[in-house]
Structures are given as structure tokens and as C-alpha cells.
Amino acid sequence: MRTPPATDGGGVDVLAVIRAPLEAYPPSLNQVRLLARHGLRVTVADLAPTLPAEDALAAEPGTARVSLGVQRALEGQDVALARRLCDHVRFGHGVRRLAARLRPAVVLAYDPAAIAAVRRPPGAALVAHFHELPLPATAGGGPLMRRAARLAARRAADADLVLFPDPARARIYAEATGLPRPPAVAFNCPLAVPDAALPADALRPRLAALGVPAEAPVVLFQGWIGPSRAIAETIRSMPLWPAAARFVLIGPVRGAQREALTALAAATGVARRVLFLGPLPYPALLAHTVGADVGLALVSPRHEAEPAWRYTAGAVNKRFEYMAAGIAQVASTGPGMAEIVAAPGAGLLVDPDDPAAIGAAVARLLTRPEERRAMAARARRAHLERFSYEAQFAPVLTRIEALAAARCPARHPLPPVIPRPA
């Protein structure tokens, strides 16, 4: 825990609340960084990770953190309902006590569990940021999450600003819950990475240590490895790829899922060409991404009951991280995808449930290096011009600054908007 800064009679500017470790949600972490870099004093109330982790805000002036519990459940673990209920109640009490002490000008709450825990402090503005699409009528995750989704919908209706990462998710939520004002949208992009800040390739040396030849083409998937990510369909497509090409996966995967994918790779005859490298800390991810030839960003809603997976254009981080790294991508069709990927010429769109289409797209990019390099250059340009978090969050930042200024005008003359990256 890092103690919140002493107040000067006006409280802190922003209290950011998330019922998870902040580092687990890069867009939320980016928001806190940008708010602090614009002169707002931000206190984060979150959960401490179960395993020790570096504080990503430790060197960020103007920020403080308060841990209101521990992230108990790791991937594949179950926590008893009574224990989870107790944790929810304690988290809510902690948020409200902290808000009463800090008297924030703005409360920024992320996702139903945090939004439900927040009772708007007197005089404070409320910003509700939903990462997913938690429709009260269809919310999954058990009784606690369904209750949180219902409470969050009521709080969002009274919020000063509601934010989503995808325009289709924003529209559907507004229609389903009767929001009085349209939500704002900021795609889940990384912070801007200028050419001079691109890291050295860390992927190829790691693959070389595993015996992968330097000239072998590499198709990369990074992120959570689950059925909705079309990993099985991609493995089935690999006989259509150049024979030397490797499929490299970076991210967490449950044991049963990995075993099933490994068995599928063996049955398809590509077992030695599929490599699981495990999860990486987020700051190390870009250095491993720049070494790939093609990035895979497929999402199939066929495997998921939640409606959010039909609307992922602005919400899937990896498609924007591939752009930042300057690699071409194969992405899924769906609402909003043509605008984000096809229009700037940053990749190819395919049916995520069609191995033949996936294989043809990958083979095209790996066997046409000039087209692939031109696509990669356009992806970098799209990142710098539009798909960075600075560019996406700028209008929202202006509104949060205005909310803070309206409540503390003596301390907050409105600062300028973040400039668009050059």
C-alpha cells in the first residue's frame, strides 16, 4: 500500500476503483497514468495480486494506491461463495470509507463489481467504465456478479459519464438499460510507442534457445488462451502454412486446454511447430511481439454465452498491440472490424471458425513479404495517428478534467488536452 497524499482541504482529484489488481487491466492503468500526467492527483483502490508483483505506478508522480483486499482466485481455482460474499462486502465498505476520507472530486469505477461498490460521495462526479458488456438480464459469473450487474446499471444511469471500449457494446448497453446519455468510447489501445521507443526483439533469441531457426516465419498469439480465441481452428489451418512456420502462443492457459491443443497439434501433424511460451508481464510483451511476422487476433463468439464476444472490435487489446509493434495481423470479421483493421490496411479479416480461411490468410502474408511489410508499416502509422491510448482517451480526459474543475475550481484551472501523437 502507498499512502494517499495529504489533502489540502479539497480532497484528491480522482479516486479510481477496480476490484482486481490494476496491472491486470492495461487500459485502466493507462487511464490512471494519463490523468496523473495531466496534473490530477489520483488514488487507486484495488486488490493486491495473490503473487507479488511490481507496482506499475510506483514511479508515477501524483498517484497513490490502497489495497482493499487480495485477489484470492487464480486461473482455474474456486473460492467458496461465502468467502466471495464476505470479500465483496469488505471491498464495498473499504471503498466507501476511503471516499469519505479523501473526498474525491471524481470517482472512476471500473466494471460492475467496483461500480456497484461505489456510492457516489457527496459532491463528487461519477464515471463508470465497463470493459465488457454486463447486461443485467444476461450477466454471467454467478449470483454475486448478476447482482453487481443490476446495481451497476442503476449507478450508470445516474453517472456523469459512462465509458466503453467498443461502440457496439456501448450502444447495446445503452439501449438495454435505458441510459439517459450515450456512453463515450475509447478503444483498448496501448500508450503511444514512438519509433525510437520500440524495444529490441526479445522473441527470436528466446525461440533460438528452443532450437527454432532464425529464418523460420513466426505467427504470434498473445493473451488469454481459451476456446473463444480460435486457437484450435488456427492449429487446424497450419497444414496450409509454409512448412517452416511456427505458431507461438504467449499467455495463460489452463492445463486441460493446453493438453487438448497439444493433442490436436499432434493429430494435425504440426506438434513441433506449436510452442507455448507461457505468460509474460505486460511491460515485456511488446519486446516479444516485435519479433513476429504475423499476429493472430481472432475471436469466435461461438464458444461463449456472453454477448460481449460478438462485439470485440475496440475491446481486444492485442489487435492494437500488434499495430504498435508494427506487424501485420489476421483478425476476425465482425462489427467494427473493417474500420479498425481493413480500412487502414493493417491486416486481413477472416471467419474465425473457418480453418481454410485462416490458413489462406496466414499463407498469403508469409509468402508475400513485400505485401506483409507494407501492411506492417501501415499498422504502425495507424497506431501513431489514431490507435494509441493518448488519442483515444483525449476527449474523455477533457471531460474528467472538466468534472474535477467544476468541483474544485480554485485548484483546477482546466489544463490543455493531450496532443495527438505525431
Query: Identity (one letter) of the amino acid at 359?
Result: G
Same fold for the domain at 14-191+389-407 and the one at 195-385?
A: yes
Give the span between the Cα atoms of 347 and 372, in whole angstroms: 9
Give the span between the Cα atoms of 126 and 65, in whole angstroms: 19
Picking from 156, 107, 108, 159, the residue whose alpha carbon sits closest to that of residue 134 is 156
Alpha-helix runs per DSSP H in 8-60: 26-37
| pLDDT at residue 134 tops 60 | yes
CA 389, 393, 398, 401 torsion-angle sign:
negative
| pLDDT at residue 81 tops 70 | no
Q: What is the pLDDT of residues 367-410, one digit of tens each?
A: 999 999 999 999 999 999 999 999 999 999 999 999 999 987 54
Using DSSP bridges, classify how beta strands 63-70 and 246-250 pair: parallel, antiparallel or unpaired: unpaired
pLDDT value of residue 417: 35
CATH of 14-191+389-407, one of 3.40.50.920, 3.40.50.2000, 3.10.450.50, 3.40.50.1980: 3.40.50.2000
Could you write out the DSSP letters of every residue in 52-72?
Answer: ----TTTT-TTEEEEEEEE--
CA angle in degrees (0–180, nearest 5) for 287-47-163 = 75
CATH of domain 195-385: 3.40.50.2000
Predicted TM-score of the model (pTM): 0.91
Using DSSP bridges, classify how beta strands 328-332 and 184-185 pair: parallel, antiparallel or unpaired: unpaired
Q: Specify the 3-state DSSP secondary structure of 267.
A: helix
CA angle in degrees (0–180, nearest 5) for 125-168-343 = 120
In the chain, where are the structural domains located?
14-191+389-407, 195-385
Position 355 confidence tier, pLDDT thresholds 50, 70, 90? very high
C-alpha cell at 164: 466503453
Separation of CA 208 from chain center: 30
Contact 67, 48 (CB under 8 A): yes
Helical (H) or strand (E) element with 125: strand 125-129
Helical (H) or strand (E) element with 219: strand 218-222
Strand partners, 64: 43
pLDDT value of residue 106: 97
Picking from 108, 114, 111, the residue whose alpha carbon sits closest to that of residue 88 is 114
Q: Which percentage of the chain shows pLDDT scores above 90?
A: 78
Q: What is the pLDDT of residues 176-207, one digit of tens each?
A: 999 999 999 999 999 999 999 999 999 999 99
Q: From its phi and psi, is residue 191 left (phi > 0), alpha (psi between -120 and 50) or beta? A: beta
Neighbours of 305 (CB within 10 A): 8
